[in-house]
Amino acid sequence: MSVISLENISWRRGHEFILRDVFWTVNPNEHWCIVGANGSGKSTMLNIIAGYIWPSTGSVHVLGQRYGTCSLPEMRKRMGWVTSALGTTFTESRPFETAKEVVESGRFASVGLYEEVSDEDKDEAQRLLSLFGCNALADAPFVNLSQGEKQRVLLARAFMAHPEILILDEPCTGLDIRAREQLLMSLEDMVKGKQAPTILYVTHHVEEILPFFTHTILLRDGQVLAAGPKKSVLTSSNLSQALGVSVEVAWSGDRPWVTVVRE
């Protein structure tokens, strides 16, 4: 059984197609990167998977359920989603919440704690903070953390609910190289666990595609340009088409690195 199956998905705003004729299957034990220029349809596709947008055409199957025959709120409880915008939400609406409280709220998928937190959940939150290298930050106000620290705390929060699918929407935005590598290595360590979720990772920067990622889907103008094992997809030709600029791809340490070709 596939984890995700999009069959002939299209979505349009007015007369404009944002996604068109998308077929995509994610199988167990696969971790996918979603790559494309701004406006290529990445966010729309993720919102369809999470059930926030209904496709104009096609069918959606996620975790063995067909959308239209299942409870979407219940499906969303089986997924985690991390964006830099989520950090802004906590900073603006819960400025005095500690890092540990932010992680604990992941159990309830809420911004803020409105239910009693069990001792078991408190211990789990502390364990996750430690795994993501944030143990010393547990009692620090979230608002005072650096951007890299905030992102690692939000990753710990996402794992708190034991999601079956984890969507990471450009989690390294705004991070310097050191903070980016810390976050990526923390994620890689977590994925090695026995009950790791399927990762869907959105990025503009292919050097963020670590060895544990198995597959890549390239989007261009709302259509699938290429999808499959990452080394067969992340070629110089494919990336040049997807990004709209001539590039060359070289692999080092099982990671792709891109150089712009100046004409």
What would the pLDDT profile of 150-199 be if each residue is shown by its tens digit?
Answer: 888 888 888 888 899 999 988 888 888 988 888 888 888 888 877 789 99
DSSP the chain: --SEEEEEEEEEETTEEEEEEEEEEE-TT--EEEEE-TTSSHHHHHHHHTTSS--SEEEEEETTEETTSS-HHHHHTTEEEEEHHHHHHHHHH-TT-BHHHHHHHTTTT-SS--SPPPHHHHHHHHHHHHHTT-GGGTTSBGGGS-HHHHHHHHHHHHHHT--SEEEEESTTTT--HHHHHHHHHHHHHHHTSTTPPEEEEEES-GGG--TT--EEEEEETTEEEEEEEHHHHS-HHHHHHHHTS-EEEEEETTEEEEEE---
For the segment 209-245, what is each residue's pLDDT rounded down to a tens digit? Answer: 999 999 999 999 999 999 999 999 999 999 999 998 9
For 81-100, the pLDDT digits (tens) are 887 777 788 888 877 888 99
Q: Write the pLDDT tens digit of every residue in 120-144.
A: 888 989 998 988 888 888 999 989 9
pLDDT at 220: 94
